[in-house]
């Protein structure tokens, strides 16, 4: 029998499961998953590159993080108008109650969001519909590259972690290193531990640190290659903030790339065991945090089995 491409198997799986999970949203999400990947430019605060923001703004790119407070305010104004309209039409009915709860949730989220946004992280993206490519990163006089190209959504877990000055931070599944670099851009943490079980991926992490971070800052980062599930046996209960960005089905890669695709038949068992691995890593991340510490769990998958179910 002819071998079915792994990408087709992945897409069939997504069509079957995500169409039920996302309903009417799935067709547009599917199109986004299959279209060309769009990158953001994470500015490197360690490089002498003050001209870069102006250069990117001339290309019509904007810092999506600094724009977020305005979008929150626009959402709140829109929600208030919808609430008023609902109140006129339905009195004090259930629709109004739901809207008030929605507004309350948003109001509660705003301070945390603003705390994250007040950090030093800046990431430039082109507007929706603009697929302009960024130029390759360039070195400054000391050889540090001026920005790092990454999927801008990958910054959201880092922002959610909201690193504060002198925090001890653990990035439990750190390689290839984009989120680790973003954590360092906050310029505030007391110490950063970056761990990844894969030695080859850890080498990529070292390369990124050497290309973007000066030696005196690299010295505050400890890079290790332990099995993250055993981290509490190494140094448990000591970190203020822990990022657990777990291995997952990596949906965009699975739907578009044959190379190293987790939907290949040889990797069926590995794929089926992912939620268990993710749960074990999350448990290790929780045990690595000190009492009262904070843990962010993240994936690059839409699967409820890998997200909500693991957290529950």
Could you give the CA distance from residue 308 to residue 312 in angstroms, rounded to a whole number?
6
Q: Which of 123, 248, 300, 309 is catalytic?
A: 300
Question: Domain residues of the chain, as ranges?
Answer: 35-73+118-310
- Provide Rg for the chain, Cα atoms: 21
Mean pLDDT along residues 104-119: 49
Contact by Cβ (8 Å): 152, 123: yes
Could you give the CA distance from residue 9 to residue 262 in angstroms, rounded to a whole number?
10
* Residue 61 pLDDT level (bands cut at 50, 70, 90): very high
Binding site for S-adenosyl-L-methionine: what residues are annotated?
173-179, 196, 227, 245
* Residue 8 pLDDT level (bands cut at 50, 70, 90): very high
**How much is the pTM?**
0.85
> Over 80: is that where the pLDDT of 83 sits?
no
Beta strands at 289-298 and 62-63: parallel, antiparallel or unpaired = unpaired
> Over 90: is that where the pLDDT of 97 sits?
no
> Over 60: is that where the pLDDT of 110 sits?
no
**What CATH number has the domain spanning 35-73+118-310?**
3.40.50.150
114 is catalytic: no
Instruction: List 168's β-bridge partners, or say none.
Output: 191
**Sign for the pseudo-dihedral over CA of 48, 54, 57, 59:** negative
* Residue 105 pLDDT level (bands cut at 50, 70, 90): very low
Binding site: what residues are annotated?
173-179, 196, 227, 245
Model confidence pLDDT, tens digit, residues 125-157: 999 888 899 999 999 999 999 999 999 999 999
Residue 87, phi then psi, degrees to nearest 5: -65, -40
Q: What is the pLDDT of the chain when averaged over all its residues?
A: 87
* Residue 101 pLDDT level (bands cut at 50, 70, 90): very low
Cβ-based neighbours of 34, under 8 Å, separated by 6 or more: 11, 255, 256
């Amino acid at each position: 029998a002819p071998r079915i491409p792994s990408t087709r198997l992945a897409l069939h799986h997504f069509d079957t499961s995500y169409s039920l999970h996302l309903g009417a949203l799935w067709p547009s999400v599917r199109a986004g998953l299959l279209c060309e990947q769009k990158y953001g430019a994470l500015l490197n605060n360690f490089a002498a590159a003050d001209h870069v923001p102006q250069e990117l703004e001339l290309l019509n790119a904007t810092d999506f993080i600094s724009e977020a407070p305005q979008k929150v305010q626009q959402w709140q104004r829109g929600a208030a108008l919808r609430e008023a309209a609902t109140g006129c039409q339905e009195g004090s009915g259930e629709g109004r109650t739901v809207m008030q709860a929605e507004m309350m949730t948003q109001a509660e989220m705003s301070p945390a969001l603003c705390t994250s946004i007040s950090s030093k992280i800046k990431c430039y993206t082109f507007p929706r519909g603009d697929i302009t490519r960024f130029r390759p990163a360039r070195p400054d006089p000391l050889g540090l590259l001026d920005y790092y190209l990454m999927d801008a959504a990958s910054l959201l877990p880092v922002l959610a972690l909201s690193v504060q000055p002198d925090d001890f931070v653990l990035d439990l599944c750190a390689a290839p290193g984009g989120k680790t670099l973003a954590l360092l851009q906050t310029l505030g943490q007391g110490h950063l531990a970056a761990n990844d079980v894969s030695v080859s991926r850890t080498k990529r992490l070292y390369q990124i640190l050497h290309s973007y971070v000066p030696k005196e800052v690299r010295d505050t980062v400890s890079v290790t290659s332990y099995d993250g599930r055993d981290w509490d046996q190494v140094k448990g209960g000591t970190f203020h903030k822990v990022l657990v960005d777990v291995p997952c089905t990596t949906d965009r890669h699975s739907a578009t790339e044959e190379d190293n695709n987790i939907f290949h038949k040889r990797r069926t068992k590995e794929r089926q065991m992912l939620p268990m691995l993710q749960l074990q890593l999350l448990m290790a991340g929780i045990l690595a945090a000190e009492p009262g510490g904070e843990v962010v769990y993240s994936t690059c998958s839409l699967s409820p089995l890998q997200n909500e179910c693991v957290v529950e």
